[in-house]
Amino acid sequence: MNFLAPETLNPVARPVAKPALLSIIVPTFNEQDNIAELVGRLDAVLSGLSWEVVFVDDDSTDGTVKALRELSQTDARVRFLHRINRRGLSSAVVEGILSTASQYIAVMDADLQHDEKLLRDMLERLRITNCDVVVGSRYLQDGGVEEWDESRQAISRLATKIAQRVLKTELSDPMSGFFMMRRDAFDRSVRRLSAMGYKILLDILASARPPLSVSEVPYVFRNRLHGESKLDSAVAWEYLMLLLDKTIGRAVPVRFVMFTAVGGLGVVVHMLTLATLNQMFAVPFMQSQAIATVMAMTMNFFANNMLTYRDKRLKGGWQILGGLLSFYAVCSIGAISNVGIAAFMFDQHYSWWLAGIAGILLGAVWNYAVSSIFTWRK
């Protein structure tokens, strides 16, 4: 028995819709109450245009996915990607864009803080001028933020200054999460993107070759409609990682820099523990040194888990225990090779400090490379 109508079996009989002119990419994490409202507003401001909206959800724990499914069932302009075991605004945006075919791409938040009424104007600018990207700016005349406390404003301004300096851009709001661009502007940057953290616009601008021409339009950053911000203390750290990657990242992997910085902190922890045990409590040197080593390795493991490998963070008792043990094992072999190479070089009559540094460097590279395989697996 055939339950399917013949026309659904024959591809020629079904007209195929053209891709939209404009795709709006919206990253979501726990935004269930904002989605229908956003789509309603897009529908109102974009009437007469061919558009679609692509939500990219990182497995929200509220009803966002359900809301997305329901909307997509009734409105063909609504699509979504559902990512499991992933987090990250930037990577969500990148993958959302990669799932589209339209000529123009907008990126905006789900929480209605970005003013959808700008979209038409942004699109017009892209179509009649030759600029590649139009950015919604809070810091142009007529732009602003509705309700932010002094400290958040100050932090935002500082981060903006840093971005302008480091990435040598004259944009008033390079941290904006609200912008529209031509597809080829994205294509010119996509293979160089860091895709870490929050600041996808900054990433795109810093990655594109040749550089993109940008124009800005002012808007007022509204208050969130429902739900809460996902900005947390890690955002500053991720921002730092992004800036490092965009500057020195070509020469040295940022993760290695972080890993080494954490290692440096480990040396401090080691020496403090050693001094306390041996000098203050008269614990014999060998025992003190052994305890200090374990302390430093443990601290390094947790610091790397929180910071260097934040995106692959091990969570829950068993994962952490397994990670910690494998990290001890990796570092022990690292220590043996450190001492081995140093002793060998010293034997070959290299100066003591060169031999020492060579040992440390080999140990660091070993620990970094091997722990990235065994401890923080992909």
Footprint on residues 295-334 left by Mn ion (CB under 5 A) = none
CB of 365 to ligand GDD, least distance (A): 31
**Residue 228: left if φ>0, alpha if ψ -120 to 50, beta else—which one?**
beta
The reply on whether position 176 binds Mn ion by CB under 5 A is no
The reply on whether position 52 binds Mn ion by CB under 5 A is no
Kindly list the residues in this chain that would bind ligand GDD in the complex (CB under 6 A).
27-29, 31, 56-58, 87-89, 92, 109-111, 113, 175-178, 198-199, 221, 229-231
3-state class of 80 per DSSP? strand
3-state class of 52 per DSSP? strand
Most distant CA pair in the chain, distance: 88
Question: CA 331 to CA 367: how far, in whole Å?
Answer: 6
CB of 249 to ligand GDD, least distance (A): 20
- Selection from ligand GDD, Mn ion, none that 56 binds (CB < 5 to 8 A by kind) is ligand GDD
- Selection from Mn ion, ligand GDD, none that 88 binds (CB < 5 to 8 A by kind) is ligand GDD
- Selection from ligand GDD, Mn ion, none that 115 binds (CB < 5 to 8 A by kind) is none
Q: Taking a C-beta distance cutoff of 8 angstroms, is the pair 130, 144 a contact?
A: no
Size of the site for Mn ion (CB under 5 A): 3
DSSP β-bridge partners for residue 104: 22, 182
Q: Which residues contact 5 (CB under 8 A, 6 or more apart)?
A: none
Nearest-CA neighbor of 209 among 155, 262, 246, 253?
Answer: 246
Written as one string, the DSSP assignment of 272-297 is HHHIIIIIIS---HHHHHHHHHHHHH
How remote is the C-alpha of 285 from its chain's centroid?
Answer: 44
- Selection from Mn ion, ligand GDD, none that 296 binds (CB < 5 to 8 A by kind) is none
The reply on whether position 338 binds Mn ion by CB under 5 A is no
Of 58, 111, 116, 238, which lies in the binding site for Mn ion, with binding defined by CB under 5 A? 111
| Contact string (CB under 5 A) for Mn ion, positions 113-152, x = contact | x---------------------------------------
Q: Which is nearer to ligand GDD, 228 or 347 (CB)?
A: 228
Q: Taking a C-beta distance cutoff of 8 angstroms, is the pair 95, 81 a contact?
A: yes
Q: Which residue, chain included where needed, has tokens 């403090």?
A: 272
Q: Which is nearer to ligand GDD, 143 or 263 (CB)?
A: 143
Q: Which is nearer to ligand GDD, 88 or 359 (CB)?
A: 88
> What radius of gyration do the chain's Cα atoms show?
26
CB of 371 to ligand GDD, least distance (A): 25
Q: Which is nearer to ligand GDD, 87 or 313 (CB)?
A: 87
Nearest-CA neighbor of 137 among 38, 79, 199, 218?
Answer: 218
Is residue 269 classed exposed, middle or buried when 0-12, 13-18 and 19+ CB atoms within 10 A define those classes?
A: middle
CB of 109 to Mn ion, least distance (A): 5
- Selection from ligand GDD, Mn ion, none that 80 binds (CB < 5 to 8 A by kind) is none
CB of 106 to ligand GDD, least distance (A): 13
Which residues of the shown chain bind Mn ion in the complex (CB under 5 A)? 109, 111, 113
